[in-house]
Amino acid sequence: MSDRIWNFNPGPATLPLSVLEKAKEEIPNYQNTGMAVMELSHRSKEYAAIQNDAKSLMIELFQIPNNYKVLFLQGGASLQFTMAPMNLLTQGKAADYIITGSWSKKALKEAKIIGTANVAGSTEDTNFNRIPKQGDLKLDPDAVYCHITSNNTIAGTQYKTFPQTGNVTIIADMSSDILSRKINFAKFGLIYAGAQKNLGPSGVTVVIIRDDLVEACRQDIPIILQYKTHVDNDSFYNTPPTYSVYLVKLVLEWVKSLGGLAAIEKRNREKADLLYGTIDDNPDFFKGATEKESRSFMNVTFRLPSEDLEAKMISDAKAAGFGGLKGHRSVGGIRVSMYNAMEPQGIQELTEFMKDFARKNG
Ligand SMILES: *Cc1c(COP(=O)(O)O)cnc(C)c1O
């Protein structure tokens, strides 16, 4: 496997090598069924065990309280942008949205099609290079929920503490930092995440919803779009994305083998310290694209002295075995996406490459 690169793609993203090897080994004949997982009936006991294990591991590792349900849905985080307001934004009510990047804007756009959605805060004036301060938020105490994006994959910012919203429950798009750190569930009524950054491959979306929100959901919308449908059927209302769920299960087993969430959180912090440290130690060459207190531990964005040097760094890096470093087209520069599965050694080697590149080109 020495031909694998250090893959910093923002999503779909790198997966643990041990997970890929295990999946490969199990492909022709999963546990003596004579079939691959993708050939199993979703009604078989073997597949039911896979999905149940994935759910139990999610609950165990993320320490999800028992008044929440864990669902495996399809349609990506993008479907959740509309499914959440469809279910919860009832007539006569309003929802708050905090806008910290392109994904929050998309979520807001969908909510506005469904009902009344207000912007309770935005950092668009500085091109989303920061998370708004509590004092800058104009929160509606009667909002039905407040929607946030916990980690901004494109801009490279992340909430370090979540907004104080009083009695208003938070809905969070955690697509790019779910299971990367401990969170206090008490603040959240609904959390959703496409799997392809921190949990596995694309094709499955994890939704974690509190029981009282399930009960409050509208039941006059299409059946497949009701959270209650999926809760009542334990995510088997229609055929689940079986192979994606299987890979999520393998990734969660891998997280557990590393020592669980506390170990993952420590590992992510160490990777971030190393990479941001390298940026800050070379201020004439590397310039962080975000404010220090808002820096994401998952997506690190920075600029070089010129666009030509950025292009050179991306191509030299590629030749040296580091892929996926080009910043999003709306931001430019360099973006290092380093989700849970990125090995510390990958960051170690990348920072050596960066120091060398700065020395030669500075
Ligand atoms: C990638 C991403 C999305 C989009 O996810 P899809 O699965 O493509 O719908 C939404 N929100 C955030 C924060 C993301 O990183």
Q: What is the mean pLDDT of residues 3-21?
A: 97
Interval between CA 193 and ligand 1 midpoint (Å): 7
Ligand 1 mutation target, pool 174, 175, 207, 331, most atoms within 8 A of CB:
175
DSSP state of 203: T
Per-residue pLDDT at 330: 85
* Residue 103 a catalytic site member: yes
What amino acid is encoded at 36 in this protein? A
Q: What is the mean pLDDT of residues 34-48?
A: 97
Interval between CA 110 and ligand 1 midpoint (Å): 14
Q: What is the mean pLDDT of residues 11-22?
A: 98
Closest protein CA for atom 12 of ligand 1: 175
Question: What is the C-alpha separation between 46 and 35, in angstroms, rounded?
Answer: 11
Question: Helices 242-258 and 17-26 meet at what angle, rounded to 10?
Answer: 130
Question: What is the C-alpha separation between 84 and 88, in angstroms, rounded?
Answer: 6
pLDDT of 258 strictly over 60: yes
Q: 71 vs 45, 55, 237, CA distance in Å?
A: 18, 8, 11
pLDDT of 110 strictly over 60: yes
Return the structure tokens found at 217: 């959901």
Closest protein CA for atom 13 of ligand 1: 175
pLDDT of 266 strictly over 60: yes
| Ligand 1, CB within 6 Å, residue ranges | 11, 76-78, 103, 149, 153, 173, 175-176, 194, 197
The active-site residue out of 173, 177, 271, 326 is 173
Closest protein CA for atom 5 of ligand 1: 77
pLDDT of 1 strictly over 60: no
Terminal CA-to-CA distance of the chain, rounded, Å? 34
pLDDT of 340 strictly over 70: yes
* Residue 281 a catalytic site member: no
Residue 145: what are its φ and ψ, rounded to 5°? -165, 165
* Residue 234 a catalytic site member: no
DSSP labels for 252-286?
HHHHHHHTHHHHHHHHHHHHHHHHHHHHHH-TTT-
Ligand 1 mutation target, pool 102, 103, 154, most atoms within 8 A of CB:
103
Interval between CA 152 and ligand 1 midpoint (Å): 10
State the average pLDDT for the chain: 97
pLDDT in tens, 204-228: 999 999 999 999 999 999 999 999 9
pLDDT band at 64 (very low <50, low <70, confident <90, very high): very high
Assess contact for 199 and 191: CB atoms under 8 A: no
Question: What is the C-alpha separation between 219 and 59, in angstroms, rounded?
Answer: 27
Assess contact for 92 and 116: CB atoms under 8 A: no
The active-site residue out of 55, 69, 197, 228 is 197
Domains of the chain: 19-256 (3.40.640.10), 259-361 (3.90.1150.10)
pLDDT of 169 strictly over 70: yes
Question: What is the C-alpha separation between 127 and 104, in angstroms, rounded?
Answer: 13
Residue keyed to tokens 């959440």: 84
Interval between CA 133 and ligand 1 midpoint (Å): 24
Per-residue pLDDT at 196: 98
Assess contact for 90 and 144: CB atoms under 8 A: yes
Closest protein CA for atom 2 of ligand 1: 175
pLDDT band at 2 (very low <50, low <70, confident <90, very high): low
Per-residue pLDDT at 222: 98
Question: What is the C-alpha separation between 206 and 291, in angstroms, rounded?
Answer: 30
